[in-house]
Structure 1
């Protein structure tokens, strides 16, 4: 019995049998991985024995067996490819992959892990060549190029973290697949992931920090942050730099975890992967957040270049949980909508008795990022007159507040402004009379074609004035 009602198998494990030979301890790597994944999915789905993971451990020797496998592939909801040099060289594993890739809507139900990496001259088959691949291997030492598959016991922390992350991703896809199958009409309306709030380039780390990097990657993805790179960069100078450069153009923030090791330095990248990533991100002008453990003793770090990197201004020495929050805040800050600042400089003219209304209008305009000026009543009569005329000449928009002030005040200011019009370098964008309470008896007896009226005398309504000004000239 399977969890998905529309497929015979929930998960199909595709692997090369050469990768599942018993090691010195007697353990078979792919078998153990499959069992861990099976148990984790059952726990997360809460379905007990209802989950069906198809894992064929027969030594294939006939076309009939291959046809049986292809049939199982076509009746599986999820496909997991355990990749390695052996995997990409076997015809049968490629045929399994091709069979699943031909299914409708299979792209987001195909997962791949790397049990071992490929040689530099080998390529992953389509479509896993463009898929994120969880790395289940590491270098035997910082200076070694020899990869070694993660051991569930010796590398328990990082192995468990990676396997649980994979199980959680598969769980989500199984639930989504079942929901789509149950409601075909809604399939087009569904999305596989929530909208991303931003993109973080999470730099390649040394092996000592691989567990922390996986933890951070999982957290960011749960917080709807897209994490680059989608799969590991090619190792080597130019190929590595080319891949990193492309992702830097697309990333909002560069994040790097630093330890006491300077990392590997291949012959064609003498500065090493850690320093190269930092340098390229700096040259690209990216916002950068670097992290190190607060208890790391920088003075005892062997590499002078690494010590310098660990003490750079961008480095945060804190707990990883605190650093996670800093990244989210930084991503949101970088991607927050840019508020457009109105170019219109507004002068609000008002008689002293109408200053409370003028200030209310001013506060509303400031909230919209308008530059605003109110009249002054300090200084000599000549100083006040000169300030008024300068304001009328230099403002882009002029608003006269007519509330308690007598009609003679508004008439006098309109005549003054009309005389000054010929002295302005550019015509005003807006000129408005904002009529505030109390209600007026009749009109003011003067009009100009460029002056607009906003009547709020029956009850103060600043929004009506804002609507007029927001329309621009």
Structure 2
């Protein structure tokens, strides 16, 4: 019985047995230890995962573990985890295993791969691994100019294991429960499982956006900042996590270094970016001669100059008092810096990116073409009057329903707000407080709305100020006095068309 419904196994581990030897002592092999650690990490991320069932054949050469048995297990597995290497690339059984999995429907999001060691010079992967992202579990030893497999216990090894566990747990959770919606009042969860509501550090519009799988993720661009050594693992985890979700991610540690070159490349990366995130720790990082204030300050300067939305993050236990440079300590303690756990911060970033992706998706939807006239009961007659005017010129319109339960009223209002092409908010007999409440609701619903035109229409009685104390870049204010004149609305619609 597996954690994932409909499957016998949750994860099939595909590897070359020759790679499963201990790099340090006579204990368990490297892959065996890796699988044991991933098993614990995935279970933790699935809230226990008592039914988690990983198929890991530790006796691959034994006569009772023939190829047909392995291929049956592949077909009965929810996900496939390949430990790639030259040996993996050259073994018939491993090639048959991955080929069998790729015959399954919707295999793309269910296949995960790491690289035990890089291929030999001139060698290419024979399978789909050639074009798949493979998380490197090796690093180059500059002293000896040779690639070495990461050793268990190192910070980089654990960070890479965490990435893999998060990715697999995310997929298994989605396959078990479908889209993971946030639970009201639920405690903070790991981003690999269930999303929760972000903290108050986010804007109200972003905080109110429900979490769903992001459409048009590739149209959203995330820039992850360059950090000092104490935060590199977290920055790399952020990069890998969101790249695996399908977002376009730029990591500033991978651009040219040095003052002028770094600033030029960072400016290019941030131009038009959806979000810039910068993890910071107590170490201030490098301060070359041409960047006397350091890379942290340089990146924040570029973000400000390019008007890129920015989130600076530190862990709750990081304090400016422990920073060796007072200026860096002041940055750590700045009120704009988000103090959160890593999972909590990832949740916040993911909420923002998903909201941006939904906004792009809504902008690309064909418009419904109708005008929604949102009016309180006090201005119902005016709304129906404007409806009559628009009907005579062949324009579809809608007004709120007034005779229904509060739940039905709200459901209908949300549906109209999301679906209309033009939104008119009537400010007549009703008070300003009602108008401001509606505007606040529109701000929160912005990612879901497809309306090209939004306008507050001020009508009788005369004497009301056009200053509503609420501004939005795409909101128009129209004066329809003295008697709910419709010509300003028609002019606005025609100009926008």
Report TM bin, short chain: 0.5 to 0.7
What residue in structure 2 maps to residue 3 of structure 1? Answer: 3
Offset from partner CA, 1:24-58 (integer Å, 9 cap, x none): 32241100011112222333335665322111122
Indicate if the aligned counterparts of 1:2 and 1:50 stay in contact, CA closer than 8 A: yes
Question: What is the RMSD of the two structures over their aligned residues, measured on CA atoms?
Answer: 5.0
Query: Residues 382-421 of structure 1 correspond to what in structure 2 (within 5 A)?
Result: 401-402=481-482
Structure showing greater Rg: 1
What residue in structure 2 maps to residue 17 of structure 1? Answer: 17
What residue in structure 2 maps to residue 405 of structure 1? Answer: none
Cα deviation for residue 99 of structure 1 reads 0.8
Query: Residues 16-415 of structure 1 correspond to what in structure 2 (within 5 A)?
Result: 16-27=16-27, 28-46=29-47, 50-60=51-61, 65-119=66-120, 121-140=122-141, 145-153=145-153, 155=154, 157-178=155-176, 193-195=213-215, 196=217, 198-202=220-224, 209-217=231-239, 226-228=246-248, 254-256=250-252, 279-283=264-268, 286=271, 289=276, 291=278, 293=280, 295-296=282-283, 304=289, 310=295, 313-315=298-300, 320-321=314-315, 322=337, 357=462, 359-360=464-465, 369-370=475-476, 401-402=481-482
- Name the structure, 1 or 2, with higher relative contact order (CA <8 Å, separation 6+): 2
Q: 1:21 to 1:328 in 2, by over 3 A?
A: closer
Indicate if the aligned counterparts of 1:7 and 1:75 stay in contact, CA closer than 8 A: yes
Structure 1 length-normalised TM: 0.54
Structure 2 residues not aligned, in runs of 5+:
179-210, 302-310, 316-336, 339-344, 364-445
Q: 1:280 to 1:146 in 2, by over 3 A?
A: farther
Indicate if the aligned counterparts of 1:138 and 1:207 stay in contact, CA closer than 8 A: no
Offset from partner CA, 1:354-397 (integer Å, 9 cap, x none): 9x72654686998765588xxxxxxxxxxxxxxxxxxxxxxxxx
Looking at structure 2, the residues matched to 290 and 5 of structure 1 have their Cα atoms a distance apart, in angstroms, of 37
Indicate if the aligned counterparts of 1:139 and 1:207 stay in contact, CA closer than 8 A: no
Equivalent pairs, count: 329
Structure 1 residues not aligned, in runs of 5+:
181-190, 230-253, 258-262, 264-268, 373-398, 403-433, 436-453, 455-463
Cα deviation for residue 161 of structure 1 reads 3.4
Q: 1:108 to 1:293 in 2, by over 3 A?
A: closer
Looking at structure 1, the residues matched to 212 and 349 of structure 2 have their Cα atoms a distance apart, in angstroms, of 24
Cα deviation for residue 213 of structure 1 reads 1.8
What residue in structure 1 maps to residue 319 of structure 2? Answer: none
